[in-house]
Amino acid sequence: MAFEKISFISADSVLADNARKRLEKRYGSISPDDAEVIVVLGGDGTMLETMHGWFDKGLPIYGMNRGTVGFLMNEFREAGLKKRLVAAHEVRLHPLRMDAKTVAGKNETAYCFNEVALLRETRQAANLKIGIDGKVRLPELVCDGLVVATPAGSTAYNLSAHGPIIPIGAELLALTPISAFRPRRWRGALLPATAEITIEILDPDKRPVSAVADYTEVRDIRSVAIRQENDISLRMLFDPEHNLEERILNEQFVP
């Protein structure tokens, strides 16, 4: 596909904003509503915000790093952008859907492309009961929190919590505890992408827990259900030499 209608979105920084202005002068400026592709300038945070804002429009998204880490971004270059877009590899990502119920009885739904993280809110450790596809697999997990990560998000918070890196296309989810106290030796699990994960908060009044889907936080939850939403897909574009699969593979061999 020849991408002629490009919409540029930039982070709120001088570096990213100046890059956007130069690219718009070179390639034109168009609204995302009328675009064929969105080009994001910034870091992974800006990319995640754009993914959440536009995943239901079906537009491919291509990032160029004008931020810090930039794991989800391509190298920034002003020249030859249209050729890079045509040659880019497309990856389709399915989000996780989080349905959380609060202690007050309120129901909240949020989507994420990296992870759902359950985190203790006070000095008291969280006390969780974990079920998979309707069957209780862990009656009690005392911990600082728990991460449910997609393959794309497995190199983020999940990896920092010593969870496994999952290759793109593996159709797996990582279930990773954060500082597990009991059972102390439980290191988590790999689950099929079709699994529905239910987590009940034991003693939520004394041990309050929040649930965070990427950057959407729901506090004081009583329970949460998490599953992959296969009916929704996001199209991301990567340069062939630095595609997402290659980056995730490289992360497993960092000295």
**pLDDT band with cut points at 50, 70 and 90 for residue 31:** very high
Q: What is the mean pLDDT of residues 58-78?
A: 92
Query: What's the rounded Cα separation, in Å, for the pair 8 and 38?
Result: 6
In the residue annotation, 231 being an active-site residue is answered as: no
β partners of residue 38: 7, 61
pLDDT of residue 82: 95
Q: What is the mean pLDDT of residues 238-245?
A: 87
Same domain, 121 and 167: yes
**pLDDT band with cut points at 50, 70 and 90 for residue 211:** very high
pLDDT of residue 216: 94
pLDDT of residue 118: 98
Q: Could you say which of 34, 44, 133, 239 is catalytic?
A: 44
Q: What is the pTM of this model?
A: 0.90
Number of domains in the chain: 2
Percent of the chain, pLDDT > 90?
84
Same domain, 133 and 79: no
**CATH code of the domain in which 123 resides:** 2.60.200.30
Same domain, 113 and 214: yes
When mean pLDDT is compared across 116-120, 144-148, 245-249, the lowest value belongs to: 245-249
Same domain, 198 and 237: no
Helix, strand, coil in percent for the chain, rounding step 5: 20, 40, 40
**Residue 160 structure tokens:** 């920092």
Same domain, 196 and 247: no
Phi, psi of 29, deg, nearest 5: -120, 130
Contact call for residues 81 and 39 (beta carbons, < 8 A):
yes
Residue 129 vs residues 136, 182, 196, 204, 212: alpha-carbon distances, Å: 7, 12, 14, 12, 18
Query: What's the rounded Cα separation, in Å, for the pair 249 and 59?
Result: 26
* Structural domain range at position 129: 96-228
**Residue 38 structure tokens:** 């969105």
Q: Taking the CA atoms of the chain, what radius of gyration do you get in angstroms? A: 20
pLDDT of residue 247: 85
Q: Strand, coil or helix: what is 232?
A: coil
Q: What is the mean pLDDT of residues 222-251?
A: 91
| HEC per residue, 95-106 | CEEEEEEECCCC
pLDDT of residue 245: 86
Residue 1 in any domain: the answer is: no
- As a residue count, the chain comes to 255
Using the structure block, give the residue that is written with the tokens 């609204």.
31
Same domain, 205 and 246: no
Same domain, 12 and 85: yes
pLDDT of residue 250: 85
Same domain, 172 and 223: yes
Q: What is the mean pLDDT of residues 77-87?
A: 95
Phi, psi of 52, deg, nearest 5: -70, -35
Q: What is the DSSP pairing of strand 145-149 with strand 96-102?
A: unpaired
Please write the tens of the pLDDT for every residue from 130-178. Answer: 999 999 999 999 999 999 999 999 999 999 999 999 998 889 999 999 9
Contact call for residues 147 and 161 (beta carbons, < 8 A):
yes
Residue 203 in any domain: the answer is: yes
Query: What's the rounded Cα separation, in Å, for the pair 156 and 166?
Result: 11
For residue 116, pLDDT over 90 is answered with yes
- From the list 204, 107, 118, the residue with the least C-alpha distance to 161 is 118
Same domain, 205 and 243: no
Whether residue 240 has a cis bond before it, omega within 30° of 0: no
Residue 139 in any domain: the answer is: yes
For residue 17, pLDDT over 90 is answered with yes
For all residues of the chain together, what is the average pLDDT? 94
**pLDDT band with cut points at 50, 70 and 90 for residue 29:** confident
pLDDT of residue 186: 93
